[in-house]
Structure 1
Amino acid sequence: MEDIMRMFGSEVKQSYSVARARIDKRLGFLRKVYGILSVQLLFTFAVATVFKWSSLITYIVQTNHWLVFAGIIGSLGLCVALQAYKNEYPTNYMLLSAFTAVEACLVGTVVTYYKVESILDAFLLTMIVTICLTAYTFQSRMDFDRFGAGIFSLLGILVSFMFMQLFFPTPGMDRLLSVGIAVLYCMYIIYDTGLIMERLTPEEYIVAPTILYLDMVALFLRLLKLRGEREKRND
């Protein structure tokens, strides 16, 4: 997700980063970030629940695939808008709310294809993994800029396997890819959390939850695919 960090223009001097700010500003930043992130996750969970339990909505999203493409385009457009207005209140909050709503609908569309037990399993596992990785990152003294090299290497390996799977598909390879991608997203959570502390200023509290939210959504969807059991469709 470093490209997202760059897109938001996080080129700051280290002396102004969150990690080097006064303790009161650092704690204020973390409270805002995790407060916003909690609202995003609760809203996404609520929307996904409505999508899953409403047979009408399930039918609409499963028979109109163009809605997914429209949502992806809308999400990208809102990311660009957030970059432009990240420090302008209340525009930044309105854009973040719209972005979260679009992402929640995309997640809601995906969960309509899976059983409730699988969805809850993936959700709880995502929360546990994210909390553990975030706690590790906050207390670690690791240089997370160097951590990016490992992510890039793993990404290259996964892309190579994807091409192999494209031409020589096997169920075992597909599962191996899912595990590898899940590990990649876990590494991204560690990496992005470190970058947020080192590269963002305390005033950029809108950017941080957006990055973490995207990481968590990506991990949830990958775990859902890896561990989830699909609903049987009655065509």
Structure 2
Amino acid sequence: MFEFTRVSTKEDREGDIEEGVLYPGISHGENQLRWGFIRKVYGILAAQMVLTTAVSFLTVLYAPINELLRGNSGLLLFFVFLPFILLWPLHVYQQKHPLNFVFLGLFTASLSLTVGVSCANTDGKIVLEALILTSAVMFFPVGPTSNAIIGGLGAVLFSGYIIYDTENLIKRFTYDEYIWASVTLYLDILNLFLAILRMLRQGDN
């Protein structure tokens, strides 16, 4: 009986180099499926960040929205707690299209409004610095020591969460959990940004 072994082509080798092996022992097929899952999650995450940026800019630049939220503590409190309420249907319907994307959009938009209010009440230079530091996932202590320590610990904590959830994305999340995977990473990045923003704002004061 003869056994035929498929010779890897130049295209196969280039594909392996481009995608890379995620971790030792993973099969070629599993590796390709996992890379596809990762690209899908980060595509959703990118859309969430774009929506957050757009809503935040609108809240900052369009004064009536910001003044309405700041002047109505009940409404602001509603939007603060709304994401926690939306987490339940988001978890229940995470695998049911299109409801999963509907609840994801509502969840992201409600969080974006509170982020926009925080940015609107902060100096633009500080917001920009926080964005840069969040993008680079770095920490530079500024201001009083106590503020720097508190903000720094928050930044380190949420940076650790990003690393942990990224490992889960590679090894633990199943292929139909792309919505929940994007939510966890989105919350990690958002919390990291807010921790750095709080640190820089306190340092500036």
| Residue equivalent to 2:157 | 184
Give the distance between the partners of 2:124 and 2:58, measured in 1 at CA: 12
Aligned partner (choices 151, 162, 185) of residue 212 of structure 1: 185
Identify the residue that residue 169 of structure 2 maps to in structure 1. Answer: 196
TM-score normalized by structure 1? 0.68
1:98 aligned residue: 106
Query: 5+ residue gaps in structure 1?
Result: 1-17, 131-170
Q: 1:89 aligns with which of 81, 87, 97?
A: 97
Give how far 1:197 is off.
2.2
2:52 counterpart of 1:44:
yes
Matched position secondary structure for 1:100? helix
Matched, 1:221 2:201: no
User: Residue 72 in 1 paired to residue 80 in 2?
Assistant: yes
Aligned pairs (5 A) from 1:46-195: 46-129=54-137, 172-195=145-168
Give the drift of 1:230.
Answer: 10
Q: CA deviation at 1:231?
A: 10
Identity among equivalent positions (%) equals 33
Q: Which has the higher contact order (CA 8 A, sep 6+)?
A: 1
Q: Is the 8 Å Cα contact of residues 75 and 102 (structure 1) preserved in structure 2?
A: yes
Contact 1:118 1:229 in 2 (8 A): no
CA distance in 2, matches of 1:126, 1:91: 30
User: Cα RMSD (Å) of the superposition?
Assistant: 2.3
- Please list every run of 5 or more consecutive structure 2 residues that lacks an aligned counterpart in the other structure: 1-21, 139-143
Number of aligned residues: 175
State the AA in 2 paired with 1:49.
Answer: F
Larger radius of gyration: 2
